[in-house]
């Protein structure tokens, strides 16, 4: 949680909504958040809550069956309204993404060097020699030894952790100002996870990059992020600094998530302590989508969607019974 932090937003997402199936299925529902320069924002929630679709919508990488609306303000412009040529300059250039599945995101039939070089060709003026030198530098930066040899190898010749490093090297080739990292360590064992997260934080410091880190692991958020936004059924239900939210969750879902985080000194575990599962998109309950699983639910929760209300700058919550949630105390 160290490193540069300012309040000036570089990314300003406003009322982002993503639907599938001719607007019938809403995967991302009126989501707004900002990311400051050099800041790491954690986007947290169980599987299916809309985290990946949110990240993809920011850079318009949703399938053709999807429709994205709202505003994504980046360097004074709305990415959602940009022409394709402009968008290509931003995507993979100023804003890079690391995907959840490194193997499917890498091209299996191209050597790693070619894949890094494609990004360098698209987003820098470097000549052939410059690109080779930069590719070696990137491999060093992400901690892959013996760069000259390994650049000629194919993705399947790398271990899971090393492949994720390759993905990061490709993402960083253009010196992005913003890195969108979608569960970059979920497939990796805990030691490698820690190394990759440390690498992302080091690079954030070195390159003054901002990061949106998607994860379902509150332990990762605590170790890595400055601020966090909790998502449930496509909506943001709580935001704040990591220390504020951990000290006093105001939303019953956040409280449930925190209750599933093991205490200091024990192993990380998955989010198992909230009964039930998030609803599929065609069965989102009326009112607060969390109400069937919520021990604090009242009639109002079953009738009306609770609005996201600001408690202080950067701190917001969407829960009708936050007084009861607060009175119940932090489970951590
Ligand atoms: N291309 C798609 N078509 C229809 N539904 C989709 C598509 N992509 C994602 N979804 C649905 O959107 C919801 C959110 O998905 P996702 O953002 O991947 O969740 P998360 O990353 O939080 O696990 C899920 O219910 C998922 O099934
Ligand atoms: S609004 Fe109601 S159902 Fe939703 S989290 Fe708060 S108390 Fe629970
Ligand atoms: Mg996902």
Across 194-199, average pLDDT: 87
Across 7-26, average pLDDT: 92
99 is a domain residue: no
Listed range (161-165, 186-190, 228-232) with the worst mean pLDDT: 186-190
Smallest-distance ligand from the CA of 291: 2
User: Is the minimum distance from the CB of 28 to ligand 1 under 6 angstroms?
Assistant: no
- Checking if the pLDDT of 311 tops 90, the result is yes
pLDDT tens digits for range 107-120: 999 999 999 999 99
Across 85-113, average pLDDT: 88
User: Is the minimum distance from the CB of 63 to ligand 1 under 6 angstroms?
Assistant: yes
Exposure string of 42-60, with b = 16+ CB inside 10 Å and e = fewer, is: bbbbbebbbbbbbbbbbbb
Across 164-188, average pLDDT: 88
pLDDT tens digits for range 248-265: 999 999 999 998 766 554
Predicted pLDDT at 262: 60
Task: Give residue 63 CA to ligand 1 midpoint distance, Å.
Answer: 11
What CATH number is associated with residue 308?
3.40.50.300
Predicted pLDDT at 265: 46
Q: Which of 80-84, 88-92, 187-191, 274-278 has the highest mean pLDDT?
A: 80-84
Predicted pLDDT at 315: 97
29 is a domain residue: yes
103 is a domain residue: no
Same structural domain, 219 and 293: yes
Same structural domain, 225 and 318: yes
Which of 173, 197, 223 finishes a domain? 173
Across 140-145, average pLDDT: 89
Predicted pLDDT at 199: 87
Domain of 140? 112-173
Predicted pLDDT at 247: 94
Q: Which residue has the higher pLDDT, 247 or 100?
A: 247
In percent, the amount of the chain with pLDDT more than 90 equals 71
Predicted pLDDT at 320: 98
d(CA 250, CA 316): 9
User: Is the minimum distance from the CB of 250 to ligand 2 under 6 angstroms?
Assistant: no
Same structural domain, 18 and 127: no
In percent, the amount of the chain with pLDDT more than 70 equals 93
User: Is the minimum distance from the CB of 304 to ligand 1 under 6 angstroms?
Assistant: no
Same structural domain, 233 and 179: yes
Smallest-distance ligand from the CA of 46: 1
Whole-Å CA distances, 121 to 170, 175, 318:
12, 13, 45
Task: Give residue 17 CA to ligand 1 midpoint distance, Å.
Answer: 13
Number of domains in the chain: 2
Same structural domain, 147 and 57: no
Same structural domain, 53 and 129: no
Question: pLDDT-derived band of residue 186, with 50, 70 and 90 as boundaries?
Answer: confident
Predicted pLDDT at 27: 98
61 is a domain residue: yes
149 is a domain residue: yes
Task: Report the chain's mean pLDDT, rounded to a whole number.
Answer: 90
Across 252-280, average pLDDT: 73
Across 73-87, average pLDDT: 95
pLDDT tens digits for range 37-72: 999 999 999 999 999 999 999 999 999 999 999 999
Same structural domain, 203 and 77: yes
193 is a domain residue: yes
Predicted pLDDT at 50: 97
Same structural domain, 21 and 131: no
Predicted pLDDT at 43: 98
CA angle, residues 179, 185, 191, in degrees to nearest 5: 125
If one counts every other C-beta atom within 10 angstroms of the C-beta of residue 317, the result is 24
Which of 173, 195, 215 finishes a domain? 173
Whole-Å CA distances, 295 to 197, 230, 238, 256:
34, 18, 17, 10
246 is a domain residue: yes
Same structural domain, 122 and 65: no
Query: If you take atom 5 of ligand 2, which residue's CA is the nearest one?
Result: 252
Burial class (CB in 10 A: 0-12, 13-18, 19+), 285: middle
Same structural domain, 46 and 148: no
């Amino acid at each position: 949680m160290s490193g540069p932090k300012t309040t000036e937003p570089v990314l300003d997402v406003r009322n982002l909504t993503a639907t599938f199936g001719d607007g019938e299925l809403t995967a991302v529902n009126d989501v707004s958040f900002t990311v400051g320069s050099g800041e790491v924002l954690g986007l947290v929630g169980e599987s299916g809550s809309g985290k990946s679709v949110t990240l993809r919508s920011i850079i318009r990488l949703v399938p053709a069956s999807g429709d994205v609306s709202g505003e994504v303000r980046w360097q004074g412009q709305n990415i959602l309204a940009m022409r394709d040529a402009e968008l290509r300059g931003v995507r993979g250039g100023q804003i890079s993404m690391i995907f959840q599945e490194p193997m499917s995101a890498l091209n299996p039939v191209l050597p790693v060097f070619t894949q890094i070089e494609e990004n360098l060709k698209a987003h820098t003026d470097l000549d052939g020699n410059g690109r080779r030198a930069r590719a070696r530098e990137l491999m060093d930066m992400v901690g892959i030894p013996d760069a000259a040899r390994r650049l000629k190898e194919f993705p399947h010749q790398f271990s899971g952790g090393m492949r994720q490093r390759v993905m990061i090297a490709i993402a960083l080739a253009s010196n992005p100002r913003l890195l969108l990292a979608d569960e970059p360590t979920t497939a990796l064992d805990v030691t490698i996870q820690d190394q990759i997260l440390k690498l992302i934080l080091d690079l954030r410091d070195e390159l003054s990059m901002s990061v949106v880190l998607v994860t379902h692991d509150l332990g990762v958020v605590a170790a890595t992020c400055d601020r966090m936004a909790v998502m449930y059924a496509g909506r943001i239900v709580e935001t704040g600094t990591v220390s504020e939210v951990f000290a006093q969750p105001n939303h019953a879902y956040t409280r449930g998530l925190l209750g599933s985080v093991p205490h200091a000194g024990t192993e990380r575990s998955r989010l198992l302590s909230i009964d039930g599962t998030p609803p599929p998109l065609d069965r989102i309950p009326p009112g607060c989508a969390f109400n069937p699983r919520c021990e604090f639910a009242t009639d109002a929760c079953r009738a009306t969607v609770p609005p996201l209300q600001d408690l202080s700058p950067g701190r917001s919550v969407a829960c009708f019974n936050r007084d009861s949630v607060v009175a119940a105390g932090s489970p951590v």
